[in-house]
Amino acid sequence: MPVLNGQKYGDGKAGRWQWDLVHMISYCVAVLHGDEPEDNERKITKPIAIILLAHFLGDIHQPLHVGAQFFNGEGAAVDPDKVETAVEDQGGNTILLRHAPAAAARIGHGQSKLHGFWDNDAVMASMPETPKGMPKEERRAKIDEARRQLVERFAKEEPENWRFGTDVQLKDYAEAYANDILPKAREAHERLEFKHIRLKQEEDATLAVGFANEKAAPDGVPYYDWAAGVVRGELHLAGWRLADLLEQALNVTAAEGDNR
């Protein structure tokens, strides 16, 4: 969805469709809850719904899976609901993020696809740095132990503001997740300066391609460190919300004696 103008999921049309992430989470919940039959058009049984929800809850807590920037032919950011010719950056997949020197040294390269940075580099920032010459087995053991400790901490510590109010029904949780992450997606773009944006035709699609440079943030936190903190927080939220979602979705079927 576009990150301009403080939009929420229900405020526009661009970036939404019948089988988007919000709809698919709701659909899987309906299958688990018994509101959709397992013999459905999407062929999603209850076991498959659980597998998909584990994936989808991670997806919807990644800012650039939910929010995108849209550009016009001059490379300016625009609202696609107001400018029909607007072209998106595919959640940062067509934008190269030029890393600040300190971040480049930690990541190991000077630039990444913006989306890939959030999928990979910002996630790995929570893991300990390992020397290039460290043996593969030793590196894997160190990372595995750090990952185990992080999961243990996430499981023990309840994250702040992870629950929605009683006015948000189970069927609306997915939309609430999207609305909750959109401000982070917006800030992920606002902390960057987009440069040399142009429209490029690739096969049957028009893409907005270009570069992004880190701005000097008012809080003084470098983009790499800010993004790493966002990722840790969202992973923590996603785990607790997934557990809660599955408990609620399976409650009715469990009461009816189905296997959980």
Residue ranges for the chain with pLDDT beneath 70: 252-260
Q: In whole angstroms, how far apart are CA 180 and each of 98, 167, 185?
A: 27, 15, 10
Per-residue model confidence (pLDDT) at position 205: 85
Per-residue model confidence (pLDDT) at position 192: 97
Tokens of 137: 């087995």
- Identify the residue whose tokens are 């390269």: 109
Q: In whole angstroms, how far apart are CA 145 and each of 4, 113, 131, 184?
A: 40, 28, 16, 29
Per-residue model confidence (pLDDT) at position 186: 96
How much is the pTM?
0.91
Per-residue model confidence (pLDDT) at position 251: 82
Per-residue model confidence (pLDDT) at position 203: 80
Q: Where are the domains of the chain?
A: 4-255
Per-residue model confidence (pLDDT) at position 214: 96
Instruction: Name the DSSP letter for residue 162.
Output: -
* Residue pLDDT, tens place only, 170-193: 999 999 999 999 999 999 999 999
CATH 3.30.70 fits 4-255, yes or no: no
* Residue pLDDT, tens place only, 85-119: 999 998 999 999 999 999 999 999 999 999 999 99
Per-residue model confidence (pLDDT) at position 260: 38
